[in-house]
Amino acid sequence: MRTRSGWWVVAGGSVLLTLQNGLIMSAFGAYLVAITAETGWSAGVIALGYAIVQLGNGFISPITGWCCDRFGTRAVSRIGTITTAVGFALASVVGEATHFVGAVVVIALGCSAAGMMPLTVAVVQSVTERRTLALGLLPTGVALGGLAVPLVTWALDSFGWRATFMGVAVVIFVVGLAAGVVLPTDRAPRPVVGAATASEPAVVDGPTAVAASEDRAASGDHDLRSALHTGAFWLLIVGHGSALVAVSAVNLHLVPLMTHHHGIPLAIAGLTVAVMSVAQLLGQIVTGFIGDRVDKRWYAAICMMVQTGVLIALAMVSGIGLVVAAAIVHGVAWGLRGPTMTALRTDYFGIGSFGTIMGWSMGFVSLGLVVGPLLVTALADGPAGYPGAFVALAVVTGLGSIAFLVLRKPRPPVRVVQQAVGCGRPEAA
């Protein structure tokens, strides 16, 4: 039984995300410069490694979520932390580019198991009140991780990339395992659903089991099968996925848009990205305080409408002030919407199989992380240029807004319980 406050889980999860973003995601640009300079490998090798880590966090999510429900988030995170450390240790001693990519695959597997997916599940399981606030505070580690990048660059200059990678392996192993101690060890209760499987029979015996099953039915918890049969599951994927199309595209193309299309100096463009990240962090915190007090689907729809307007503004306006302001508003809207996605899934599907449902959801919506940058890249090279590409993004987010507007909470799944004694005739709970 959990006795530790759920807010310790939020703090520990934030530390793990700080490690992952500061020593891996945000530092990959510095790694690219140092590794290519020493080894002569193509920059595409390091870029491929970054893409593998990014894609791994999404495409492995269904397996990670299932493991969280099956074995508990602490066990999954612990394995992920150890795997990540092993991957960095392997990368530090490789002599060929192909071996380096193989080591990065190990790092990607570890990041998925110790990253946002299991940590979100841990927070959902541990915090029952002010859950949206907790989900808004958890990603602060992502923003704080950026503060570690200067330390990484200093280590690369002072000791070289191989020694730095070994040092990163040690830090992730020691600090990651220590931070993961606060994660819950128990699994969420697994709902009993009408369609039985060989491993999870839907039929239970005895008055106590019947009452327990009725309680779970009343709670409205879905398993993956019942969630997949609801329109809410797919509408959330459409809305969330369209948001990630825009977010990923802006992350990659905002600086080229500002410098190549608007003629804004590179230094100001870089500063704008930093300010946008701070605005995102503030938006997450604000959502944490107000997200549980409003209708979340309307809240998400409004945020998407704001992002749609921002994308049109980025395509149409000129002048440093207006472009920077639009980017900042994009960051705020992004931060306001982000935690709401998880909170909505919790409200609609319960926590009994939340890890599995969230994992499959992220597996689908992560396609938006790939589609967004490729869409803008293709359209920006055409006759419409960046303005046409960002208008196309606005169309995508506009459709996402509609998905949230028509979203409705699904009906509780039908539970089938076996009568306690006697005839054995199933009845709907």
DSSP character for 19? H
The model's pTM: 0.68
Tell which residue, 105, 119, 116, has the closest CA to residue 50.
Answer: 105
Enumerate the β-bridge partners of residue 426: 418
Q: Which two tokens stand for residue 16?
A: 């793990």
DSSP character for 149? H
Across 184-193, b (16+ Cβ under 10 Å) vs e yields beebbbebbb
Enumerate the β-bridge partners of residue 418: 426
Q: What is the pLDDT along the chain (429 residues), one digit of tens a residue?
A: 444 678 899 999 999 998 988 888 777 767 877 888 888 887 677 767 777 776 776 778 788 888 888 888 899 999 999 999 999 999 999 989 899 989 989 998 998 888 888 898 888 888 877 777 887 788 778 767 766 777 888 888 889 999 999 999 999 999 999 999 988 876 655 444 444 333 333 434 343 344 444 444 445 688 889 999 999 999 999 999 999 888 878 876 777 788 777 787 766 776 777 778 778 888 888 887 787 788 999 999 999 999 999 999 988 887 788 888 888 898 889 888 888 888 899 889 988 888 788 888 888 887 887 778 778 878 887 887 888 989 999 999 999 999 999 999 998 887 543 433 444 444 433
- Residue type at 24 in one-letter notation: I
Enumerate the β-bridge partners of residue 428: 416
Tell which residue, 152, 164, 17, has the closest CA to residue 91.
Answer: 164
Interacting residues of 4 by C-beta distance below 8 A, sequence separation 6+: 126, 182
Q: Which two tokens stand for residue 31?
A: 């790694």
Residue 263 main-chain phi, psi, to 5 deg: 70, 25
| Beta strand residue intervals within 107-205, DSSP E | none
- Residue type at 388 in one-letter notation: G
Using CA of residue 157, residue 171, residue 28, residue 396, what is the dihedral sign? negative
- Cα–Cα distance measured from residue 306 to residue 362, given in angstroms and rounded to the nearest whole number: 23
Tell which residue, 358, 393, 238, 220, has the closest CA to residue 300.
Answer: 238
